[in-house]
Structure 1
Amino acid sequence: MLAAGAGLSVASLYYSQPMLGVLGADVGASTQSVGLLPTLTQFGYAMGILLLAPLGDRRDRRTIILIKAAVLCAALFMAALSPSISTLFVASLVIGLAATMAQDIVPAAATLAPETHRGKVVGTVMTGLLFGILLSRVVSGFVAEHWGWRSMFASAGVSIAVVGLVAWYRLPRFKATTHLSYFALLRSLGALWNRHAELRRATWSQGLLSVGFSAFWSTLAVMLHAAPFNLGAAAAGAFGLAGAAGALIAPVAGRIADRHGPALVARLGAGLVVGSFAIMGLSAFMAPGAQLWLLVASAVGFDLGIQAALIAHQSIVYGIDPGARSRLNAVLFTGMFIGMAIGSALAAVLFAHFGWMAVTALATASALAALVLRMTR
């Protein structure tokens, strides 16, 4: 149940990406304006993690999850009914804020898990979350092409309503692990950041990897929509099937982290991301058909690497202080989604002015910086 809830909630962040080409034409928005939709969603998610996720240490996580489910459901229906790009901007920001219920679900799983199997359990729940991220693009591309982009947002709203109902009946209550006030909780984030070098390293590394991840996915649909490919939303969404292979690595990465240490897994993951992004540079010398196959192979590779690194980084930060898991998780994922927001924003500008190879260069450089950071002490 936790894996499904995490997957469906975080999927809300990504439904728009394969639909940007058809969505922009329908509301009369420019390519650069439409490119801001995933940026706002990811920025809202980062802010929601920073400002709301720490409450999981102070309040019953079950109550927090139920409230966020209600807000997220309403925001998705707002997007479905949006008459203009400006309304979609507001809906996207709120979707990002409320979709942080996924980041209440993951620490809940870590709390319920026995110490010796925490990496495996977190990896299992993260499999659901990662499938939500990656398969959301497949589903939204197909639905948008056959029934329109508004139908996708409406269907997503229904799915979150179901998650909320199931959580109401099945999710146990959680005891608070701190009695700090809300503002003291927020201040403690800075103290945790300053106190723990491993938290800083994990956050910076995952944030840099996320720059390239978001740059690729937020511009892929627009790139495939243009010549020489001229492909629709369904084709762009189908790339999520390639990326979904990355979700399969989560339980394996968790078990390896339990046995051999998460630092090794983080280094291997970052190295795989660098190689996968770098080989995309070869597409400039290939025919369109061969380019598509290279993009598929690259998507499999960098998704495997990024998800393995994420499981490793979560194992690292969850082991720092059991009483502050929600706050530690908030710091890690704030950095991650700030990286995603930066990646989306930079990629929209680079693609509009310099083309796809500039996006590839950005993704490769940011992943290389993450690898260097993981290799140094």
Structure 2
Amino acid sequence: MTEHVLVVGGGTGGTVLANDLADRLEAELDAGDVHLSLVNDDTDHVYKPVWLYVPFGKREPDDGRRPLSELIDDRIDLHIDRVTGIDTEARQVRFRDRSRPVEYDYLVLATGSTLAPDEIPGLVDGGHNYYSESGATALRDDLLSFTEGRIVLSVIGIPHMCPAAPLEFAFMTDDWFRERGLREDVELTFTSPIERVHGNLQVAEWARPRMDDRDITVETGFDAAAVDPDDETIQSADGTTIDYDLLVSIPPHRGIDLVEESGLGDRGWVDVDKRTLEAEAADNVYAMGDTAATGAPNAGSVAHYQAGVVGQRIASEVRGRPPTATYDGKTLCFIETGMNAASFVEFDYENPPSPVAPSEKIHWAKLAYNEAYWLTARGLL
């Protein structure tokens, strides 16, 4: 009997996993003992870290797009469709463009994060973001013409994709205006809903002095609750109000509604064992990347490392062996500290991060990885 492995989501985690499984289960796929499917609701694979550079005119949105069909192994059955229902008891998934549900033996959810700016009154009309392709492009148009006034970078949603990106944007904006001789006329304010500038204590303690040295005003404990686009103000839950001339936000994030509807977790995040990545509420279901509520950062490197773990576990189960691979929380992250320098951190569940001294060499290493990413997605790195 052919076993069906169904991966939902063609982002970093889903694409790397599908290619990993195609390699691990080569013999079973060729023999027809395993059928491997990847479902995504877009024909393109999007590498979102490119968006950080778009507002500064350093990259184009198309630099972060490739046809998904060009990135996956030929043995993977690719479907461009949208999931409309998940029945974990019957082990079936329903799709928008199919009249009948599809059965699975192993289901992996790698559906990522979606932006929910509508959860904050006024944010849709009052703020920019660089966490979407359209948002990054719109921000570029306004940032390039900005010569004086106050820019407020407000972290609203936690958790959010790429936890270091707000710090990167603040440092890059400061440096960018200095290079153009405009920094004295531009005030930068950074707000955080918690009592530090980053969720990780060690990263926060490393970043805060650097923000102070660069005259970036910091408002911690600012739990943004509403935006007034007409008055150009952002207000916190306790009534504190900050004026802005340009608002850049990290909006609330959530997963897909189907996760909650299927009883797998809240706000679209699947409750999983943080080491095995198995769903707590259903058998033969895994979640990874942003979709998995592990406590690990919502970062691409996390999804990459988790893909290897899930791939090993499913391959073991298909072959009737006890799965032993576990995820240790490993995370790698570059942190831009300006337009021409960056830092780097590596950590896991047991070992906290310790950012290294910023350098131009690390900055170029990050840019080189961004170019090599497409090999990673193909499973070649």
Higher helix share: 1
Higher strand share: 2
Check whether TM > 0.5: no
Which protein is bigger by CA-based radius of gyration?
A: 2
Output the TM-score relative to the length of structure 2.
0.27
